[in-house]
Structure formats: structure tokens, C-alpha cells
């Protein structure tokens, strides 16, 4: 039995999710904790003490709920500092039997990683999309096959050493070992996109509090990743400032209760009542006007995400469309606004899933896509338990389905 722990350190909250993997390969969520966090801005640690305290609180809650001890975690990272680049590399196989071995794949991986990185950047992932065997493309797993020339195409993900180190240090100061640093939209993609969507081409847009992460998947691999430095908190801030609300917390509450990403969908006669900043004056504004402010910012966020996808050159290849997730996507009518911004492409809101496993109801929300995805990443990359998995188990079948894709892109 192994414990897999995902730690999503976000701009608004830290979420720690612990999942138990049984000897038969089945996964079972055992504990989670969520703590508010103000220690990050746009994915960057700006207050380490607050970040450490929030991590400790979330981990403590998860430990108590699951009656477990957590010593390490798979940690998510995001922000504008993350960059993706495409790489192709080739090796020659000179042995007489020409059989592709694990050592060859490792040699090829090292070759892919031979890029000149500026001294302030580190490599986070080498995500192999496909192998090409003597000119034949589309090979997913060449192990045991025969070839003279083996090529691979990969997406390399890099991040700022300083940003990543500060995140790592925060987790370590909270008393945990960092088992892996994982690109957040990549993890979210594991939790909300179906294998079919990743195969035919889809974009994942995670509207968080401080950042909106963009990732494009195609042919079962991550092909692009980027981040826009605004998210749902900016929407709250607009409402707070423009309507002169008493405090940001009130703005957040009213946004959640009365906000809509499409003002036209709000009944004209409805009103939002609130007390104006610094006064006892009761204000009543049309709910539609309130939502116009929200719509404007939500539209901007989605347009910026669309610009990133256009910049990637992949925008016209997203046949399965766009999946929106993250807490910011839970405003009513966000998918409909998305269809306007994304030129009629299919747009849906994605909540996290672990196959058909029942997630605790509190986690069945777009805001927890990353935390769930981090545990999926762990389940797929950490070695299998010693006993043979039971193929009859539903979860096991799902893991196998993922694995084919994943083995070559982690
Ligand atoms: N029910 C809701 N309706 C509208 N907005 C919501 C709702 N729930 C959460 N949000 C918004 O979602 C945002 C937080 O999303 P999320 O929890 O995914 O962010 P995070 O992971 O902490 O931040 P980031 O990913 O930017 O580091 C906040 O701006 C919040 O206002
Ligand atoms: Mg997030």
C-alpha cells in the first residue's frame, strides 16, 4: 500500500489530497485539507511564512482526516515564468540485433535534454510525444522494436530556478519532501480531459485566482503550455473597486452569489444590494450592470488565453475544443462566454475525476482539478506496488488506458 499526495499551492488556497494505492492497484482518496493562502502572487511565492503555514494547515487536515502521516508530496508549479519548447533528437542503434532497449530510450531522452538553458532556468519535464523509427512516425513505445535510427519529438517544459526553488523551499520548510514538481495545467489536464480529447486535440484553461493556465494537448501529449497573469481575483477586485464595496471578501461573496459571465443572461429587473465602502448607505444596483463588469474581465481573461493558443500555432487544431477549469470557471455562463470568444469551438467546464472513483464531494469542483491531477501524476509515475494488479478493477483499467499515453510523455 502506497500513499500518494498531491499538493496544489495556489494563489487563493493550498489543497493537499492524499490517495491510497492498494496492492491491487486501486486508488482510494483517504484525506484532504484546504487552507486559505495569501502567500503567492501569479504562481510566485511572495510571502514564505504565510505559504508554509497554509501548507502545514492543509497537510495537517489531510493527515487528521485520513489518520495518516504525510512525509512527501507531488507539488504543482505554474506562472508566467513557465515556458515550453519543441525538441527533436535522434540516436543511432549500432548493435547487430538493432533492438531498441531501455538504455537507448534513456540515451535519446538525454539527447532531447541537451538544450542550452540560461543559468536562471531549470528543466521541469521532458514530455515525449512520439518516436520515429527509421522514418516511420507515430510510434508510442518503441521498446523491443528494431531500428537503425530512432528519433523522438518532445515538449520540454522549463521554469525559473528562483521561482521553483522558493516553492520547493516552502514545502520543505513545512516539513515535507518534494517528490516531483509538476506543471499545474498538465496535472489539471490529467484530471479533467478525457484520453479522447487529448488524442484529437484540446486545450485546457485553468482559471485560478491569480493566474490562468493554458495547456494544449494533441496526439496524446502536451504540446504547449503558457500562463496569463490574471484570474478570478481580478474579477473580484473590479467589482470591489467599481461598486465601492465594503471589502474584498464582500465582493467575493456577491460575485459568487449574483455574478454571471454573461450579463445578457441576467434578468433585467433584478438588483444587488450592498453597503457602500466607508458608509452605512445601502446601494441597489441592477444585477445586469454588476455582471457587465464581471463579463468584461472574464472576456478579457478568455481572450488572453485564446491569444496564447493562437501564438502557439495550434489554435486551429483543437478539434475537441476547450475545457475550462479552476475556481474561476465556476461563474454561471462561463462556458457560453467561452463559445463566443473561441469562435464557436466546443467549450465545456471540467471538474476533476479519478476514473469512476467517488471523490469526496467537496473536491468535485473545478478548483480542485490540479490537486486531483497531481495525485494522478503520482499514480502513473511512481512504481507499481509489488503484487500484480487486478485487471478486473475498474480503476486499474483506467490507469492502463492513461498509461499508454503517459509513459511516453512524463
Ligand atoms: N462558486 C464560484 N463562483 C465564482 N467564482 C469562484 C467560485 N469559486 C471560486 N471562484 C473563484 O475562483 C478563483 C480561485 O480559483 P482556484 O481555487 O482554482 O485558484 P488557485 O488555485 O488558488 O489559484 P492559482 O491557480 O491562480 O494559483 C477565485 O478568484 C474565486 O473567486
Ligand atoms: Mg490553481
CB of 75 within 8 A of CB of 9? yes
Q: Which of 280, 391, 384, 295 is nearest to 336 (CA)?
A: 295
Ligand 1 atom with the shortest distance to the CA of 43: 27
Query: Where would I find the H helices in 220-341?
Result: 232-242, 248-258, 287-312, 334-341
Rounded distance from Cα 326 to ligand 1 centre (Å)? 6
pLDDT per residue over 165-203, tens digit each?
999 999 999 999 999 999 999 999 999 999 999 999 999
Q: Is the Cβ atom of 211 under 6 angstroms away from ligand 1?
A: yes
Where are the CATH 3.30.420.40 domain residues in the chain? 232-298
pLDDT per residue over 18-67, tens digit each?
999 988 888 899 999 999 999 998 888 999 999 999 999 999 999 999 99
Ligand 1 atom with the shortest distance to the CA of 184: 25
pLDDT, residue 259, reads: 97
Q: Is the Cβ atom of 252 under 6 angstroms away from ligand 1?
A: yes
Average pLDDT over the chain, rounded to an integer: 92
Find out if CATH 3.30.420.40 is the number for domain 232-298.
yes
Which class would CATH give 83-159?
Answer: alpha beta
Least confident of 87-91, 254-258, 322-326, 403-407: 403-407
Task: Please name the residues in contact with 27: beta carbons below 8 A apart, sequence gap of 6 or more.
Answer: 4, 19, 20, 21, 354, 357, 375, 379, 395, 399
Model-level pTM? 0.90
Q: Cell numbers of 258, please?
A: 449574483
Among 42, 44, 76, 232, name the best residue to mutate to test ligand 1's pocket (greatest count of ligand atoms within 8 A of Cβ): 232
Q: Residue 166 is inside which H or E element, if any?
A: helix 161-173
Where are the CATH 3.30.1490.110 domain residues in the chain? 83-159
Amino acid at each position: 500500500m502506497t500513499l500518494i499526495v498531491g499538493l496544489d499551492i495556489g494563489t487563493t488556497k493550498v489543497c493537499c489530497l492524499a490517495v491510497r494505492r492498494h496492492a491491487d492497484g486501486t486508488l482510494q482518496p483517504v484525506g484532504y485539507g484546504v487552507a486559505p493562502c495569501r502567500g503567492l502572487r501569479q504562481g510566485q511565492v511572495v510571502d514564505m511564512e504565510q505559504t508554509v503555514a497554509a501548507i502545514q494547515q492543509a497537510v495537517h487536515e489531510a493527515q487528521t482526516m485520513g489518520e495518516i502521516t504525510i512525509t512527501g508530496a507531488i507539488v504543482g508549479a505554474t506562472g508566467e515564468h513557465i515556458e515550453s519548447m519543441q525538441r527533436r533528437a535522434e540516436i543511432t542503434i549500432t548493435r547487430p540485433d538493432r533492438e531498441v532497449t531501455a538504455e537507448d530510450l534513456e540515451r535519446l531522452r538525454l539527447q532531447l535534454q541537451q538544450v542550452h538553458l540560461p543559468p536562471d532556468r531549470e528543466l521541469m519535464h521532458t514530455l515525449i510525444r512520439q518516436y520515429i523509427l527509421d522514418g516511420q512516425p507515430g510510434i508510442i513505445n518503441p521498446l523491443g522494436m528494431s531500428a537503425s535510427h530512432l528519433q523522438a519529438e518532445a515538449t520540454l517544459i522549463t521554469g525559473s530556478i528562483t521561482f521553483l526553488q522558493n516553492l520547493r523551499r516552502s514545502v520543505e520548510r513545512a516539513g515535507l519532501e518534494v517528490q516531483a514538481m509538476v506543471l499545474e495545467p498538465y496535472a489539471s489536464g490529467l484530471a479533467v480531459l478525457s484520453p479522447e480529447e487529448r488524442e484529437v486535440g484540446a486545450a485546457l484553461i485553468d482559471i485560478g485566482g491569480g493566474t490562468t493556465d493554458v495547456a494544449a494537448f494533441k496526439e496524446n501529449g502536451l504540446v504547449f503550455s503558457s500562463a496569463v497573469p490574471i484570474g478570478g481575483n481580478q474579477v473580484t477586485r473590479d467589482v470591489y473597486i467599481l461598486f465601492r464595496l465594503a471589502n474584498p471578501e464582500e465582493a467575493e461573496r456577491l460575485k459568487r452569489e449574483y455574478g454571471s459571465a454573461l450579463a445578457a443572461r441576467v434578468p433585467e429587473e433584478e438588483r444587488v444590494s450592498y453597503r457602500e465602502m466607508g458608509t452605512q448607505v445601502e446601494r441597489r444596483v441592477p444585477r445586469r450592470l454588476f455582471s457587465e463588469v464581471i463579463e468584461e474581465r472574464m472576456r478579457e481573461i478568455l481572450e488572453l488565453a485564446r491569444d496564447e493558443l493562437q501564438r502557439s500555432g495550434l489554435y486551429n487544431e483543437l478539434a475537441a475544443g476547450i475545457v475550462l477549469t479552476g475556481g474561476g470557471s465556476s461563474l454561471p455562463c462561463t462556458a457560453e462566454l467561452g463559445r463566443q470568444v473561441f469562435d464557436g469551438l466546443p467549450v465545456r467546464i471540467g471538474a476533476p475525476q479519478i476514473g469512476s472513483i467517488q471523490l469526496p464531494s467537496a473536491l468535485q469542483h473545478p478548483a480542485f482539478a490540479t490537486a486531483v491531477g497531481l495525485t494522478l501524476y503520482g499514480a502513473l509515475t511512481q512504481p507499481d506496488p509489488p503484487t500484480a494488479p487486478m485487471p478486473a478493477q475498474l480503476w486499474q483499467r483506467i490507469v492502463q488506458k492513461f498509461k499508454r499515453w503517459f509513459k511516453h510523455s512524463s
